Amino acid sequence: MWPPGEQQQQHAVMAAPPDGEGLVATASVNAVDELTDRVLPLALARKLRRTRSLNAPSPIQQFGPCGRIMKNSAMVMTIQDPASQRLTWYKPPLTVLVIKKVRDVSVLQPFVQLVRWLIQEKNMVVFVEQTVMEDTLLLNNAGFTIVKDKLMTFHDGKDDLTDKIDFIICLGGDGTLLYASLLFQQSVPPVMAFHLGSLGFLTPFEFDNFQEQVTNVLEGHAALTLRSRLRCIIMRKNEDPNKQSKPPTNLLVLNEVVIDRGPSPYLSNIDLFLDGKHITSVQGDGLIVSTPTGSTAYAVAAGASMIHPSVPAIMVTPICPHSLSFRPIVVPAGVELKISVSPDSRNTSWVSFDGRNRQELFHGDSLRVTTSIYPVPSICAQDQISDWFDSLAECLHWNVRKRQKHLDELSDLTHSSSNDTLDSLDHAEQLDS
C-alpha cells in the first residue's frame, strides 16, 4: 500500500513537446480501469499480485496469436519518454528555497548575489535555513544586510515545507541536492543546482550567468531529469504497531541505503529477499541498494555499473563480498526488497540513508526498500543525455586515456612497409654496416 498523500501534486508539471508526441502524463501511478477477463479465485489473485509494475510508454499487450498480458486492477507506473520531459508551470512560481553549501566561504558572495536578485528583481519570497542567518560572515556582508529582514527561515527537522516551496536553487556540491531530497519526503519542487562545490556530478549549472539561466527556468524553458528515490522502512522485531513510542523509520533516499557490519570485526551476514522470495545471503562488509542516480556514487566505487537516472531500476551491490562470483545486479524498479540480519549472524548490522540517520539493525529487524513515486525533478542545463555524459567525462574522467598513435606517427615503422620481412631488414642492416 502507498503511504497517505502519495497522490499530491506540485505547481510544476511536465509537458509533452509542442507537436504532442510522447506521453503527457508524468511518471505517476495510474490504476488500471479494465478488469480481468476471467475471474480468478481470490487466493490466487492475491498470490499473483505484485507491489507494482513498470511499463514503457504504450506497451504491447499481445504476443503472437494467443499470448497476452493478463489485465488486472493492480497499480501501474507509467514511465514517460525522457526526451519529452520538459518543465512547465501551471501558475507562476512565487516562493524559492535557496540551499547553500555550509562552511564554505567561496559560496557566500554568490549566495548574496542570488538572494538579492531574486528578491529585488524577481519579487520572489526567498526561504533559507535558520542556520544561514546565524553565519557571522554573512551578517557582516553589507549586501546581505539589505535583504536580511525580507528572508523567510525554517528549522531543519521541525518545520514542514510541504506546499510552501515552488522552486529550489542549490549552491554548492552534490550534498546540497541530497539535502533538498531529505527536506521533501513527498513531492519535491523542481531543483536547479549550481556547481560551486568539489565534485558537482549532480550540479550541471555554472554560476557566471545565473540571471539568464534562472529566468529561462522561471519561464518554463528547461528539460527535466526525474531522479527516482527509494522508500526505506525499518520494521522492528516484537514491536506492536499500536504501541510504538516513536514512528518507524520511513525515509526517501536519492542515492543509496547502505547496510554494513559497523564496528564489528565479523563479516556481515544479511539475508536478501525480492518480492518475498529469498534471493541470497550476503557475507562480506555489507550491501548497497542504490538508485540509478546513486549508481555513480558509493556503488560505482564498489564495482557497480553506472546507470542513467532515467532508467527504472534498483542497483544491488555487495561491499567486499566473501565470494568472487557475487557481482552487482540490477533489478526492476517495481520490486520490493527486504533485507534482514540472518538468524545465524555473529553480529548485528548498521544502516544509513544517504549517509544520514545511521542506526543499528538487530536480529529479527528488517529493512523494506521500494521505488518511491516521488522523484526529484532535477533541471537540466542542456538535456538528460548531454548533462549525464558531460558529468561522467568531467567528474569521473570516464574512458579518458591517451589516444593510440596513428601508424605514420610511429618513428620505428616509418621506414618499413607491411611487405618487409625480418630477413630483408636484417640484410639491409648488414649492408649498412
Catalytic residues: 174
Among left, alpha and beta (phi > 0; psi -120 to 50; other), residue 354 is left
Dist. CA 410–CA 316, nearest whole Å: 46
Dist. CA 420–CA 310, nearest whole Å: 54
Write the single-letter amino acid at 290: S
Please provide the distance, in angstroms rounded to a whole number, between the alpha carbons at the two ends of the chain.
Answer: 88
Write the single-letter amino acid at 126: V
Dist. CA 345–CA 405, nearest whole Å: 55
Dist. CA 288–CA 230, nearest whole Å: 12
Dist. CA 338–CA 350, nearest whole Å: 15
Which own/partner pairs from 107-113 qualify as long-range (CB within 8 Å, at least 24 positions apart)? 107/171, 107/172, 107/196, 108/135, 108/137, 108/138, 108/141, 110/171, 110/194, 110/196, 110/207, 110/210, 111/138, 111/171, 112/138, 112/141, 112/143, 112/144, 113/143, 113/210
Containing H/E element for 177?
helix 174-183
Helix (H, G, I), strand (E, B) or coil at 292: coil
Helix (H, G, I), strand (E, B) or coil at 123: coil
Secondary structure (DSSP) of 124-170: -EEEEEHHHHT-HHHHT-HHHHHHGGG-EEE-TTTS--TTT-SEEEE
